[in-house]
Structure 1
C-alpha cells in the first residue's frame, strides 16, 4: 500500500484529491496538509511514500517543499498538482514523478499512481527520461516512456503519446540512434516505435504492419528482417 500526503492551501482541492486517491486500492493512509509548513511537519512524523503538492501555496510553495524533500536520505515520490503549466520544466528538474493539471481526471491520476508503484518496486530507480517539447508557444516536459511511436516530418519528428502529439526539431534518424537502447525500433523510413507499446504485428501479411497504441503502422520490406530479429527477444507474437 502507498501512503500519501496531499498538500494544497485550498481545502476543497485537498478533499477532492483525497477522495480520488481513496478510490484506488493501491493507496493506504492519506495524510492532508493545508500549508507548506504543515506538509513538512507531516513528512517529519509520518510514513509517507508519495507527496501530491500544489505548486502555488503561500509562504512555502510546492517547489520549495520539493527542494527540501530532495535533500532527504529517502525522499518520497513527488507529484505536482496545479492549474499552471508554466512550472513544468522546473518541476521535472526536481525529479518529480508526475505533473498533474487541475482538474485532476481519475484515469490520469491512476497512471500517476502506477508510476509511483513502479518506482517503489524498483527501489527508487533513476529519474525518468524527460523531453522538452513546444506546445503552442509553451514549453512542456513529457516522459520518453509515454511516447508510443515517432513519425518523421521532414527534418522534424512528431512524438505521439496516448494524449497528444508533439513536434520536435530532431530528425527521426537521430532519434533512432539515441533511443535504440530505450526500446525504440525503426520499422519504416517514416516510423520509429516503442516496443513496450506494441499491441501486435503482422509480419507474414502482404503488407506487414504493427499496431501501436491503436494505430496500425506499416513495416517496410527493408526493415522487416531487423523487426523479425528483435521479436525473438520480446514477448510480442506476430500474426499471420
Structure 2
C-alpha cells in the first residue's frame, strides 16, 4: 500500500491526479501540494518521521514545470538523502525523460494522464518498494532489525552533516530565497534579493538584476502576491519593483517615475500615492 504526495502548481490538474490516485486500491493515502515550497515542507515531515512513521511518504508524483523550483530541482535536492521517497514524474513535456531517469525516477508519465497509464506507474512503484524490502533480510529472532547499508555517497554523520529533517528544512528555507530560471536548457538559481525589478511579458515575467535579466513562466500578479513581504511593490501594470532598489522618485508635469539603477520606470497614477507613502516610511525608518 502506497502513501503518496502529488505536486502540481495547476490546481485542476492536481485535483484530477489526486482523484485518480485515491481511486486506486493500492494507494492508502494521497495528499497534494501546489508548489515546491509546500512539497518540500511536507517531505521534510516525512523524512523526519522515517519510512515507518505516521507522516511517511512512499512516492512523490511530481510535475516538472512549476513556478519557482521545478520538479527536477526537487528531485535533485532529495537525491542527497539516504532514504528519500520514490519519484514519479508527471509532465506534459517529453524532453526531460533522460534527466528524470538519471535522477532514478521510477516512471515518467505524460499529461494528459490516462487512468491505465497512472495505474502502471503505481504498479511500478509497488514493485520497486517490494524489491527494496525483499533485499533486507529478516532479523533473527530476539534481535533488533538492522537498517540496510547506506551507499557511501549518501552517508551523513553527526560530525559532518545535519540530520535528515534539519537538512530538508534548510533546503525548504533556501528554496524560498531563490527562484529557478532556465537558460539554454540549464536550470540556474537566482537570489530573490538580487532582483531589482520585474517586468510583465504576457504570461511570463522578466527578472532584472545587476548582472542581466531572466525570463520565467510566472505571471507578474503571482510574483506580486508572493513577494509582497519581501518589499516588492507594484508600481504599474507592467512593473514590480524592490522598494530598497529605488534610487530616485521623480515628479514631472503630473507624471511620476522612479529610477532603479540605469532604468527609469513609469509609475501609474493609481500606484503613485501608495509608493510615495512607502518611500517616506522607509526614509524615516
1:12 equivalent to 2:21? Answer: no
Q: Which runs of 4+ in 1 moved over 6 A?
A: none
1:49 equivalent to 2:58? Answer: yes
- For residues 11-54 of structure 1, the C-alpha deviation after alignment (integer angstroms, 9 at most, x for no partner) is 11110000000111000111110001110100011310000000
Partner secondary structure for residue 100 of structure 2: helix
* Equivalent residue runs for 1:129-148 within 5 Å: none
Structure 2 counterpart of 1:151: none
Structure 2 counterpart of 1:114: 123
Partner Cα distance (1:28, 1:20) in 2: 13
Partner Cα distance (2:36, 2:11) in 1: 13
* Equivalent residue runs for 1:166-181 within 5 Å: none
Structure 2 counterpart of 1:75: 84
Partner Cα distance (1:42, 1:124) in 2: 24
Structure 1 counterpart of 2:68: 59
- For residues 121-160 of structure 1, the C-alpha deviation after alignment (integer angstroms, 9 at most, x for no partner) is 111799xxxxxxxxxxxxxxxxxxxxxxxxxxxxxxxxxx
1:123 equivalent to 2:123? Answer: no
Structure 1 counterpart of 2:102: 93
Partner secondary structure for residue 115 of structure 1: helix
1:36 equivalent to 2:45? Answer: no
Partner Cα distance (1:124, 1:98) in 2: 19
Q: Give TM-score scaled by structure 1 length.
A: 0.51
Change in CA separation of 1:124 and 1:69 when aligned onto 2, cut-off 3 Å = farther
Change in CA separation of 1:124 and 1:61 when aligned onto 2, cut-off 3 Å = farther
- For residues 45-65 of structure 1, the C-alpha deviation after alignment (integer angstroms, 9 at most, x for no partner) is 131000000000111100000
Partner Cα distance (1:72, 1:111) in 2: 26
Unmatched runs of 5 consecutive residues or more in structure 1:
127-240
Structure 2 counterpart of 1:149: none
* Contact map agreement 1:7 1:54 (CA 8 A) in 2: yes
Unmatched runs of 5 consecutive residues or more in structure 2:
46-54, 136-285
Greater share of helix residues, 1 or 2? 2
RMSD: 1.5
Partner Cα distance (2:129, 2:56) in 1: 14
Partner Cα distance (1:110, 1:69) in 2: 24
Deviation at 1:87, TM superposition (A): 0.8
Q: Give TM-score scaled by structure 2 length.
A: 0.43
Partner Cα distance (2:83, 2:134) in 1: 12
Partner secondary structure for residue 122 of structure 1: helix
Partner secondary structure for residue 123 of structure 1: helix
Structure 2 counterpart of 1:103: 112
